[in-house]
Amino acid sequence: MDTIITRDVSIPRLGFGTFRMPGGGCQPVVESALALGYRHLDTAAMYENEDTVGAAIAASNVARGKLFVTTKVSVMKVARAQSACATSTCQCCGWRLTCRSPPCRSNTIRSSTSP
């Protein structure tokens, strides 16, 4: 899959979004997306599916270093963004994760982790 490199991080250009896929129904869909070759997944705490996205990742045979998972912090949690990032990392099984608030000069926070 084609990638873009920004700040020395290689990100797949095509991502699979999970908006409006809450609950257990999300897991088999994400598993299928991974089987089809998607390596960039997009989720958010407000989608209420980070745990099932994490379960789909854990069930896949995709190497950890090959995945890029993006989640978002709601505007209401910007003041606690570091805490929200830690929560998202845990719910997504500790996979590579970018956590940020909506675009705004004064409150954009980025954090990447990989176990």
Residues with a catalytic annotation lie at: 47
Amino acid at 71: T
* Relative orientation angle of helices 26-36 and 50-59, to the nearest 10 degrees: 50
Distance (Å, whole) CA 96 – CA 115: 8
Picking from 97, 92, 90, 101, the residue whose alpha carbon sits closest to that of residue 113 is 97
